[in-house]
């Protein structure tokens, strides 16, 4: 897959071979500064590189000034329908503005926004959504929804180019996973601009995470996509960030914190592995390096299967084993396995070694 052009959003490079950027969107009323800033800090801590806030009212555009000044990560203003709000967001210092040219009131109003963005050097995200395609594509949408999405995106890209503006990324969102995959593959062949990936209204934490992993994971594995947002029906935006990171880590596109591997268990299991895995996962949150830790229900294939793990445990009824890189370190009573595992991990770090 050819590399795209690169843009920079508040210092974060997007496209052109840069690491795939993780973003999310706050779920607070933007003008409620206390709630919005608290959520921005939480998503930044969870690993968001960028965060988007909805700007549907004057007071939200006004609040942007403070949000931009106080946020630890770049802010993207999300605008629909009202081009004057887009201009105000640019003037308030938003690091990027997300605009759907199809619902902003026509090419003249888009041109006014682009003139403002050019003045400040503000990048844009040109967003196309399957739910709001331009009227002239409605028939095509019925016959071929993928072609309709791609056509809308290409038309908007051509509008930007006529306005002599290339400082943008593009998103095409659909609730259909196959359509998201097909349309983004097609668009990646047709335009040289960075792509923002997402499955819109993906659903609850469980179903939405899986849909996103399948849709975004397929594209990312093909080399398509420069920034991702997972959309989940949860008030906790940091959950979206964690899911995005798991997808990027699984594809080995980025590293962040430890990787926990656990066997699915079977009839050979003889201890409470659920609690052990949960406890190991909880304690690993305190570590930053990408160490790989494996928890296995028994020693049958255990150590061999997890030979690549930096550290691991195999449990048993009374006593389990702690191992490192496939080599046994020590045998300990099952109820001390987790404590002793972390003794070994901490000893390793204390010796100054890094994975």
Pick the closer one to ligand SF4 by CB: 154 or 329. 329
> Least CB distance from residue 316 to ligand SF4, whole Å?
10
Beta bridge partners of 332: 320
> Least CB distance from residue 337 to ligand SF4, whole Å?
14
Residue of 124, 195, 259, 263 that binds ligand SF4 (CB under 6 A): 263
Instruction: Compute the distance between CA of residue 308 and CA of residue 316 in angstroms, rounded to an integer.
Output: 21
Instruction: Compute the distance between CA of residue 36 and CA of residue 77 in angstroms, rounded to an integer.
Output: 13
Closest residue to ligand SF4 using C-beta atoms: 297
Question: Is 263 annotated as a binding-site member?
Answer: yes
Pick the closer one to ligand SF4 by CB: 225 or 312. 312
Q: What is the DSSP string of 235-297?
A: S-HHHHHHHHHHHHHHTTS---S-EEEE----TT--S-HHHHHHHHHHHHTT--S--EEEEES
> Least CB distance from residue 341 to ligand SF4, whole Å?
16
Q: Does 277 bind ligand SF4 (CB under 6 A)?
A: no
Q: Which residues of 240-249 are buried (b: 16+ CB within 10 A; e: fewer)?
A: bbbbbbbbbb
Residue of 119, 268, 307, 330 that binds ligand SF4 (CB under 6 A): 268
Q: Compute CA distances 93 → 98, 122, 354, whole Å.
A: 14, 8, 40
Q: Which of 59, 65, 107 is closest to 83 using CA atoms?
A: 107
For the record, the structure tokens of 27 come out as 């779920």
Q: Does 269 bind ligand SF4 (CB under 6 A)?
A: yes
Part of the chain binding ligand SF4 (CB under 6 A), chosen from 64-72, 101-109, 117-125, 291-299: 291-299
Q: Does 301 bind ligand SF4 (CB under 6 A)?
A: yes
> Least CB distance from residue 299 to ligand SF4, whole Å?
7
Q: What is the DSSP string of 84-148?
A: HHHHHHHHTT-SEEEE-GGGTTSHHHHHHHHHHHHHHT--EEEEEEGGG--GGGHHHHHH-HHHH
Pick the closer one to ligand SF4 by CB: 17 or 264. 264
Q: Which of 22, 73, 43, 55 is closest to 229 using CA atoms?
A: 22
Q: Does 302 bind ligand SF4 (CB under 6 A)?
A: yes
Instruction: Compute the distance between CA of residue 219 and CA of residue 346 in angstroms, rounded to an integer.
Output: 38
Part of the chain binding ligand SF4 (CB under 6 A), chosen from 14-22, 24-32, 42-50, 260-268: 260-268
H or E element: which one contains 329? Answer: strand 327-333
Q: Does 300 bind ligand SF4 (CB under 6 A)?
A: yes
> Least CB distance from residue 264 to ligand SF4, whole Å?
5
Rounded to the nearest 10 degrees, how much is the dihedral formed by the CA atoms of 119, 123, 129, 133?
A: 30
Beta bridge partners of 121: none
Residue of 264, 327, 350, 351 that binds ligand SF4 (CB under 6 A): 264
Q: Does 296 bind ligand SF4 (CB under 6 A)?
A: yes
Pick the closer one to ligand SF4 by CB: 44 or 295. 295
Q: Does 304 bind ligand SF4 (CB under 6 A)?
A: no
> Least CB distance from residue 318 to ligand SF4, whole Å?
15
> Least CB distance from residue 243 to ligand SF4, whole Å?
25
What are residue 96's phi and psi, to 5 degrees? -165, 150
Question: Is 266 annotated as a binding-site member?
Answer: yes
Decide: residue 293, CB within 10 A, 0-12 exposed, 13-18 middle, 19+ buried: buried
Pick the closer one to ligand SF4 by CB: 208 or 302. 302
- Can you give the binding site for ligand SF4, defined by CB under 6 A? 263-266, 268-269, 296-298, 300-302
| Residues placed in the known binding site | 263, 266, 298, 305
Known binding-site residue numbers for [4Fe-4S] cluster? 263, 266, 298, 305
């Amino acid at each position: 897959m050819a590399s795209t052009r690169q843009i920079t959003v508040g210092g974060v490079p997007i496209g052109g071979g840069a690491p795939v950027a993780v973003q999310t969107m706050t779920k607070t009323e933007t003008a409620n500064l206390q709630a919005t800033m608290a959520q921005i800090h939480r998503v930044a801590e969870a690993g968001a590189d960028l965060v988007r806030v909805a700007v549907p009212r004057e007071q939200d555009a006004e609040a942007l000034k403070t949000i931009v000044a106080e946020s630890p990560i770049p802010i993207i203003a999300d605008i629909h329908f009202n081009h004057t709000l887009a201009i105000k967001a640019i003037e308030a210092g938003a690091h990027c503005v997300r605009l759907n040219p199809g619902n902003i009131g026509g090419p003249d109003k888009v041109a006014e926004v682009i003139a403002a963005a050019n003045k400040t050097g503000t990048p844009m995200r040109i967003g196309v959504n399957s739910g709001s395609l331009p009227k002239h594509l409605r028939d095509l949408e019925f016959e071929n929804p993928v072609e309709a999405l791609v056509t809308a995106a290409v038309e908007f890209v051509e509008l930007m180019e006529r306005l002599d503006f290339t400082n943008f990324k593009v998103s095409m969102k659909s609730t259909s996973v196959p359509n998201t995959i097909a349309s983004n593959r097609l668009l990646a062949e047709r335009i040289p601009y960075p792509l923002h990936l997402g499955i819109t209204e993906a659903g609850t934490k469980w179903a939405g995470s899986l849909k996103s992993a399948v849709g975004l994971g397929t594209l990312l594995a093909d080399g398509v996509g420069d920034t991702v947002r997972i959309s989940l029906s949860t008030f906790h935006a940091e959950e979206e960030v964690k899911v995005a990171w798991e997808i990027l880590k699984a594809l080995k596109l980025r590293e962040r914190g430890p990787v926990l591997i656990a066997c699915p268990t079977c009839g050979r299991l003889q201890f409470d592995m659920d609690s052990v895995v949960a406890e190991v996962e909880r304690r690993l949150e305190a570590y930053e390096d990408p160490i790989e830790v494996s928890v296995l229900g028994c020693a049958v294939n255990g150590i061999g299967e997890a030979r690549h793990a930096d550290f691991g445990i195999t449990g048993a009824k009374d006593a389990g084993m702690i191992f490192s890189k496939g080599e046994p370190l020590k045998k300990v009573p099952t109820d001390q396995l987790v404590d002793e595992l972390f003794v070994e991990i901490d000893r390793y770090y204390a010796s100054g070694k890094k994975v």
